[in-house]
Amino acid sequence: MAREVYVNGAFVDEASASVSVFDRGFLFADAVYEVTAVIDGGFVDFAAHQTRLQRSLAELAIDYDPIASGLLDIHRELRERNQLHEGLIYLQISRGAADRSFIKPTAIAPSVVLFTQQAALVDAPDAQRGIRVITCPDLRWHRRDIKTTQLLYSSLMKSQAIDAGVDDVWMLEGDTVTEGSSSNAHIITHDGVLVTRPLSTDILHGITRAAVLNYAREQGLRVEERVFTLAQAKAAKEAFITSATAFVMPVVEIDGEPVGDGQVGQGAKRMRELYLAESRQRLQS
């Protein structure tokens, strides 16, 4: 069954969907996006994704109101049309289409695109075996807190990791870890403290990160939001990443060296279970 996608107010067959060649998302990556997981047919952390979307739009002064536009209903309709039970909904809003110019145009209508992707997120095999990462310098721009579509560097680095026979990269600013190619990075120290980089313009303010930190604190776990180095990550008891589609994913190797005993640890395993259990209780229908 071919997918139906949403483009600027209409649900259309994916083969006949189109956006303008002058779209500024296409020409300048002048666009923001969100990825929302669907499990058991419900949306995970929908409200938080919408709030971050509003912030990204405001930072770029793109004129689109997700609530007035009925974004939740658009998500629902797309989910129903594609019978999506588990996977994700990708949403992209660009400034719109205008003749190519480095001066951003005003008063153009934003382009809004949504599509679904089916995926087995809950029973992902990587969660059982853990992922292996290599490191690379973080050469992205310095407004990583805005969820823009300029993902070329991340895509190239992730591809480099796959070519090197591992799963992903962790990016470094000097000797400190910023984040993964499309995830936030965390470690658990030998005395059981969950350490994660504090929010700033250096990293995306991950929705999964925020949820996991909340649930961990509610369980009485110690959480420290501070910068950590590559050496500290390598010396940690455990490491893991978070993202809307990976949830909590253990990292068992960094630059060819095992993290802890090189196996999926109890801490990350527990955090994944906790995140899934809590998320299931809060699904947006």
Catalytic residues: 147
- Shortest distance, position 185 Cβ to ligand PDD, whole Å: 9
C-beta closer to ligand PDD: residue 182 or 196: 182
- 168 near ligand PDD, judged by CB under 6 A: no
- Residue with smaller CB distance to ligand PDD, 26 or 90: 90
Torsion angle of alpha carbons 267, 271, 272, 278, nearest 10°? Answer: 160
Per DSSP, helices labelled H in the chain are: 24-28, 46-60, 71-81, 125-129, 152-163, 207-218, 230-234, 266-281
Q: Is the dihedral of CA 96, 100, 103, 108 positive or negative?
A: negative
Q: Does 185 bind ligand PDD (CB under 6 A)?
A: no
Neighbours of 163 (CB within 10 A): 8
Q: How many helices (H) and strands (E) does the chain have?
A: 8, 15
Question: Which one among 116, 148, 182, 196 touches ligand PDD, defined by CB under 6 A?
Answer: 182
At closest approach, how far in Å is the CB of 205 from ligand PDD? Answer: 8
Question: In the complex, what is the shortest distance from the CB of residue 183 to ligand PDD, in angstroms, rounded to a whole number?
Answer: 5
Nearest-approach distance from CB 106 to ligand PDD, in angstroms: 28
What is the three-state SS of 34-64?
EEEEEECCEECCHHHHHHHHHHHHHHHCCCC
Site string for ligand PDD, 205-244 (x = CB under 6 A): -xxxx--------------------------------xxx
Q: Closer to ligand PDD at the Cβ: 79 or 97?
A: 79
Q: Which residues bind ligand PDD (CB under 6 A)?
A: 35, 179, 182-184, 204, 206-209, 242-245
